[in-house]
Amino acid sequence: MIRRMKGTYDITDDIGYYKAIEKQIERVSKLFNFKEIRTPHFEARELFHRSVGEDTDIVSKETYDFEDRGGRINTLRPEGTAGIVRAFNENKLYASNISPQKYYYYGSMFRYERPQKGRFREFRQFGAESFGSNHPSMDAEIIAYAATLLKALKIKDITVHLNSLGDKTSKANFEKALKAHFQPHLDSLCKDCKNRYEENPLRILDCKVDKNHESMQSAPKTVDYLTDADKAHFESVQAYLKSANIDVVVDHNLVRGLDYYTHTVFEIKVSEDLLGSQNAICGGGRYNNLVETLDGPPTPAVGFAFGVERLVVALKENDYPLSEDYLHVYVLVMGEQARLNAAWLIQRMRMGGLMVDTDYTERSMKAQFKQSANHNARFVAIIGDKEVEEGALNLKDQQLNTEERVSFNDLYVTIVDKLTQKRSDCQDCDYKGESQ
Ligand code: AMP
């Protein structure tokens, strides 16, 4: 048997959790006026090298690269922002008469990581990007958007960790201080950190190997190297978050792994009881130079990305209530003529907005009744030879435990009528289909 590839998984029984998350993403995104954008799953390899950064783990060690038959080097996207910025520039979305332009995305990302609990090689992210505003209120809105999604999904005990890297000058000053700090410790740091020291010292703080090294605790803090303007921006973000009633923890050790961040960076963690050590459920920040780096006009931007699998685990741990699957009607058929007649009745009901299913394997009556119950059908319509002759059938209401004879012509309206009757004992009065 051919098995799934390492680090991938099939979504079968858990599909309800994904659907619930997708539904809330759509709802909350509407509340915040973010529009959906969909970009390709693969891009030119160069895109990620130029944006995420050559020496970040996800680019240097974790990408799925492949050469296509035309000799082009493609990369399966390891994250969403680079592709969206590419699309923003290529489609000249910056020329829109709406500003800031607010987009959200949902889809698979691919990283060649060591699979473990909460870490996969194909995983899904929900993310958002806002282009065109450098205002601290926009940083706060992005964080409020992420926190609101968690609230909508009934995930409690979240902590928003917040820090600021500042813009170019602040970052350069900080990097200088980091180099001076780590220089005497270089020999005892890992090989990657030695490279990072030369290429991008900030990344040393994000190292998984050296995270408990003595030099980490005493390392300089970003806030001490922020310019006055960058410090004011950071303070203002906090004031806006306070005004929106979003609690945050200022975490000076938070730097985030990707190169493109400037100013605000944040991570949302849920309690370890819920997700263990992989409890970072969302990460994001400002990236004011990326649009320009990828040949677009200077455009400030800020965004986040959620790990959907971790949201699913959190929902399952919390027994998130899923809506039950059900059918409006299950049509029981006995005999070939009945089946032919059922075909047009079923099609007519479906066209009218009813959820209908039937038997396709010539089961016995008893087995078909069992199926109707397995499908959680409100009504069962029974058609045999006699019914075809009479042009009428028995309609059983499984919820009210009633049965009546209904002509084929009246079947659809009878069911719709019953579904839309508001009565205290009717829990299934949610029919929203259109009549023919
Ligand atoms: P990042 O793009 O690395 O900032 O990750 C954003 C979020 O995506 C993280 O907080 C995780 O929830 C999730 N994530 C990142 N990598 C993986 C992975 N390999 N498997 C599952 N989720 C992931």
- Domain spanning 15-167+227-317: which superfamily? Bira Bifunctional Protein; Domain 2 (3.30.930.10)
Q: pLDDT tens digit string along 33-71?
A: 999 999 999 999 999 999 888 878 888 889 999 999 999
Q: What is the pLDDT of residue 431?
A: 57
Return the percentage of the chain with pLDDT > 90, whole number. Answer: 79
Mean pLDDT of the region 402-423: 93
- Preceding peptide of 100 cis, ω within 30°: yes
Nearest CA to ligand 1 atom 13: 307
Ligand 1 mean position, distance from CA 273 (Å): 19
CATH homologous superfamily for the domain 327-425: Anticodon-binding domain (3.40.50.800)
State yes or no: pLDDT of 119 exceeds 50. Answer: yes
Give the model's pLDDT for residue 219. 92
Q: Using 50, 70 and 90 to split pLDDT, how confident is the model at 24?
A: very high
pTM of this prediction exceeds 0.75: yes
Strands 159-164 and 122-131: unpaired
Question: Which of 6, 125, 203, 279 best tests ligand 1's pocket when mutated (most atoms within 8 Å of CB)?
Answer: 125
Evaluate the CA torsion angle 55, 59, 62, 65 in order and state its sign.
Answer: negative
Q: How far is the CA of 123 from the centre of ligand 1 (A)?
A: 8
Predicted confidence at residue 217, as pLDDT, reads 84
- pLDDT tier at 258, thresholds 50, 70, 90: confident
Q: d(Cα 80, Cα 103) in Å, to the nearest integer? A: 11
- Tens-place pLDDT, residues 162-180: 999 999 899 999 999 999 9
- The rounded distance, in Å, linking the Cα atoms of 27 and 381 is 36
Measured from CB, residues less than 6 Å from any atom of ligand 1 are 79, 111, 113, 118-120, 123, 125, 280-283, 305, 307, 309-310
pLDDT recorded at residue 263: 94
Higher pLDDT, 25 or 431: 25
Average pLDDT rounded to a whole number, residues 401-410: 97
Q: How far is the CA of 215 from the centre of ligand 1 (A)?
A: 27
Distance from first CA to last CA of the chain, Å, rounded?
47
Segments making up each domain of the chain, as ranges: 15-167+227-317, 327-425
* Mean pLDDT value across the chain: 93
Sign (positive or negative) of CA dihedral 117, 320, 269, 212: negative
